[in-house]
Each structure stands twice: as structure tokens, then as C-alpha cells.
Chain A
């Protein structure tokens, strides 16, 4: 063991060089004035070729800072200033598309001249991961605009309540005074204030309009698999946490549908969350949520969300789509009503029927791209 290691070390000039050669980062030393490469470690040589030393490299493979990038001009560094930092930043090599974190320092070389000692680390993968994370965040943010539609409605309801309550107070007060025979002119300020409050309520409504307009659907050819994948990523986490099996049955060769992907994801999210909620007290063997997608006739794709929860009690099943109907304490009961209006705005249908095995089956259809009107 000991021998092999010694042999390995003997192949290079000294142990320090062995360490530097062992680094994954590309390490190089270049003359601060001429730019001539004086030293390159193995990683650097692997990129630039074994003849890198002795050449003036212009960052063709590993991107090197250009003159304007330096905080201190390397040529101007005097012996007494070294060591000092020259550059620390991320650089893109446009030809290969790879990103490097590059750090250069001015140091005194073994022969006394000032050199640039550089370390370049390939951070392309890390960058990619960060980019994916950023895109995901963006997507979640877009989705959450819809997720919180119910909350938004609740907030607006509160904002409408304030002016309406004030109007009621002013009017009730006026009524009492009229009954008591107060002169009409004494009612004027209250009447004017009530009118002002009515305008305030009107503005709240205008804001709702603007919001709805902003979220008008952008319908285009969308893959059903993509919709399911995107929406169910979020649901999967939730399902696992609750000990519910989630399975997806997607028919082969499904055509694209004409849909606003985010809106349909929102519908799926709502339906699957409802399904999970319905099974919160279900026994182990019934803790399964199935999402099925298949072709329905010539013009539609049908997506079904099948749960084995408590099902829908009461007369018929249509009532669940009524706005402000809720079986849970929280929320405004707008989820399913909004889902239905989204599906109908896509010329599809959203319906529910009891699951013969217990629970409920929510099914919605979306038009296949070729058949889309317009």
C-alpha cells in the first residue's frame, strides 16, 4: 500500500502538485503581464490540452475574466501589493454553454514575478438545479394565484361587508330620524356618506372584475400527461403524508386537449385534494385515490378522480357544485363551483357519481385539440 502511494507521488514533481492535480477544479497560473500560462493542473490540462503551459490562453474553453472584469488590473499589481484578489465571479463559456465560478488572485510566483493564480470550478449542474428550482417556484406562484381564488373571494367578501354595513347603519339612522319627524335637510350628510360607501363597494367589484380579466384562460394544445404530471406532483406529497396510495391510469396515445394548462391543473388539484380529504377517516384498504384519463368518443378526453371516501350524502349529487356549499368547516365552499365553471369555459363537463365501491367519482371532459371551436 505504502509503496504504491509513494510511486504515485513520485510521478509528479512534488506532493503539493499531486494535491493540486487531484482537485476537480481547474487551477492555473499565468503571468500577470504577458498572460503566458506557467502552470496548469490536471483538470485544466484535461480541458485545454497538455500543451496549455507556455501558451497565452484567452479563455476559449475555461472562461477567463477579461480586462474589464477585473477589479484591479493584473498588469498594474506591484510586488508589494501581492497577494491581492483580482476577480471572483461566475462566468459563462458561450461556446460550450458551461458555467464556471472563477477566482483569481495576484501572487508572487516562485521566481518573484507577479502572476494570476486562478481556480475555475464548473458550476453548470448547480446552476441548472437552481434554474429548475426557480422555474418550479414560478410555476407554483402562478398556480397559487388560482389555489387562493377561494381565499381571494373570502377577502373580497369582507371588503364588501364594510361599506355595506356602513350603508345599512346610515339608512337605519335616517329611517329612525324620519319617523321622529326630523327635517329632511338634517339627513343630508348621512345620505351623502351612504352614497359614498356605495361607490366604495362599486370599486371593490371593479377590482374583482380586473382580477378575473387578468386570469382569463389561455387555451392551447396541451398534453394530458403533462397536466396530470404537473398537478399530481403536489398531490403525491400530500397523499404520501396521509398514507393514501395515489395511482394514475393513463391510456396510451391520448391526443392533446385544448386547454389552459394551469387552470386544469387547478381543477385537478381541487378534485384530488377533496378526494384525499374524503378519505381521511377511511380504513387502510380503502385509502386509495385513482386518477384515470381516457378518450371519450371522437371529440373528448375524460379524466376521472376516483376516491373511496365517505361519498356524497343527501339528495342527488348536484348540490356539491353550488357555490357556498361546504361540508368542511373552513373555506367558502367555492372550490367545486369554480372547478365547474373552469371546465365549462373549456366546453367540457364536470360531473360526479357515486363510486360502486364506496366514495365518489368526479369526471370531467376536455375537448380534443382538433375539435376545438374558434
Chain B
């Protein structure tokens, strides 16, 4: 992992890792080699149980998971992670004839699946997409949390003003609705912008809307 070639794709953000869980030694080892050759940081496990033993909620990146394994199966591990609200996206590696199983996994929220035998290109593309989505998802979740936190700082009056601003009301209309002066509305608005950490109306609205609140 230390000698990552410089010319490789390497878009993975620092901290993102590709986790590989596969019981077949040759399959797992060669997959790790392939991924590392393309600049990914990889952690491999020879069983679902071994992965579980190491897992904590801070695993970031994506998980390449063999469906069929002795002991705990890939699907069982997936279910286990889902019950713990893991945000780690899972890509299933399936053998011939396992596609119905993979479809089932997709319905339950798996990120994707690759059918064996797969080409390196296809596998790398799926991993890259998966990591990109994971980054995006994480950014979004961070923004949501941040926005929720900022909203919680608003006073009741400021929140009323914010709701009316988002509803597209003019300052004068807001003043009338709330029975306060335009001057006071302007003061509240400035405080809202400040607390929400934005400088323009557009970014204020975008931020509140994207947080889905």
C-alpha cells in the first residue's frame, strides 16, 4: 500500500478505503493487488466474521463483498451492517447463477453488484462510482447536520422570519404578518444570515432546502 504508483487513478479521498471480504485466497489477494495497483487503499478480510471483528462505524469507503462464503454469508453481513445503520456502501461479488440473490440485495439497499468473471475495467469503474457516491453522500450528510445545528441556534422570532423569507414574502409583508416594524425585520434577517453562515439570499434558501428541513 505504501508504494502507490503516482500515475494511477487515485481519486479516492484520504480516509476512503476499499474493504474486500472474500474467502477465496487467490481471488482476494489478486483483487487487493489490482486495487492497490490503481492507487486505492485496501483492507482485506478472509471472512465476514473477520470483517465484523474489525468493523467500527468509522469505516469509510466501500465494501466489496463476496456473496457466497462458508460461515456467515455476504448477505448476512450486509443485513448485519444495515441493522447498525452503516453508511458503508456495499458492492456484491456474485458467481454464476447468483444474480437473483444480487438483485434481492440491491432491493435491500446494496450499492451495486459485479458478476464473476468480471473485467478489471468494469470492477474499477464500479468501485470508483461507489466511492464518489459515498463522498457525495457523506458531504450531504455533513451539510445536513450542520444546517440542522445552525437552525437550532435561531430564536423563535428569527425562525418565523426565516420561514416567511423562504415562503417568498417581502420585508413589508413580514412586518405586517408579525406586527413588527420593517426595521426590526431587517435586523432579524441579518441575524438569520449570520447564524446560518450565508451571505446571500440564494445560498440561504439553497442551504435550508437541501437540508430537507
Interface of A with B (CB < 8 Å)? 158, 161-170, 172-174, 176-177, 179-182, 186, 190, 193-194, 197, 200
Contacts and interface: CB of A to CB of B under 8 A. Distances in A.
In this complex, which of B6, B29, B36, B96 has the most chain A Cβ atoms within 10 angstroms of its Cβ? B29
B195 interface: no
A161 B37 contact: no
Contact of B5 (A167, A168, A170, A182): A182
A160 to B, nearest CB: 10
Contacts of A181: 5-7
Given A158-B96, A169-B120, A174-B37, A180 B6 contact: yes
Given A179-B7, A180-B7, A173 B34 contact: yes
B26 interface: yes
In this complex, which of B26, B35, B37, B119 has the most chain A Cβ atoms within 10 angstroms of its Cβ? B37
A161 B117 contact: yes
B33 A170 contact: yes
Interface in B1-56: 3, 5-8, 24, 26-27, 29-31, 33-38
B8 A180 contact: yes
A70 B30 CA distance: 67
A165 B30 contact: yes
A162 B26 contact: yes
A192 to B, nearest CB: 12
Given A169-B34, A176-B37, A197 B5 contact: no
B116 interface: yes
B94 to A, nearest CB: 13
A102 B153 CA distance: 97
A167 B190 CA distance: 64
Contacts of B5: 176-177, 179-182
A165 B37 CA distance: 16
B79 interface: no
Contact of A166 (B7, B30, B37): B30
Nearest to B26: A166
A164 B117 contact: yes
14 contacts: A162-B24, A165-B118, A169-B31, A172-B37, A172-B120, A173-B30, A173-B35, A173-B120, A174-B37, A176-B5, A176-B8, A177-B37, A179-B5, A193-B26
Interface string B103-129: 000000000000011111000000000
A79 B7 CA distance: 100
Contact of B37 (A163, A173, A194): A173
Given A177-B5, A186-B3, A170 B95 contact: no
A322 to B, nearest CB: 20
A169 B33 contact: yes
A190 B33 contact: yes
Nearest to B117: A165
Provide the main secondary structure of the chain A interface: helix
B165 to A, nearest CB: 53
A193 B30 contact: yes
Contacts of A167: 30
Contacts of A179: 5, 7
Contact of A197 (B6, B26, B35, B95): B26
Nearest to A161: B117
Contacts of A170: 30, 33-34
Given A169-B34, A173-B35, 12 more contacts: A158-B96, A163-B26, A167-B30, A169-B27, A169-B33, A170-B33, A172-B34, A172-B37, A173-B37, A176-B37, A179-B7, A190-B33
A168 to B, nearest CB: 7
B120 to A, nearest CB: 4
Contacts of B7: 179-181
Contact of A168 (B6, B8, B120): B120
A177 to B, nearest CB: 5
Nearest to A167: B30
Contacts of A194: 30
In this complex, which of A166, A174, A181 has the most chain B Cβ atoms within 10 angstroms of its Cβ? A166
A173 B96 contact: no
B117 A166 contact: no
Contacts of A176: 5, 8, 34, 37-38
Contact of A200 (B6, B26, B31, B95): B26
Pairs of residues from A and B, 3 with the lowest C-beta to C-beta distance, nearest first: A180-B5, A173-B37, A169-B30
Contacts of B118: 165
A164 B95 CA distance: 14
Nearest to A179: B7
In this complex, which of A169, A180, A186, A200 has the most chain B Cβ atoms within 10 angstroms of its Cβ? A169
In this complex, which of B3, B33, B36, B38 has the most chain A Cβ atoms within 10 angstroms of its Cβ? B33
A186 B4 CA distance: 11
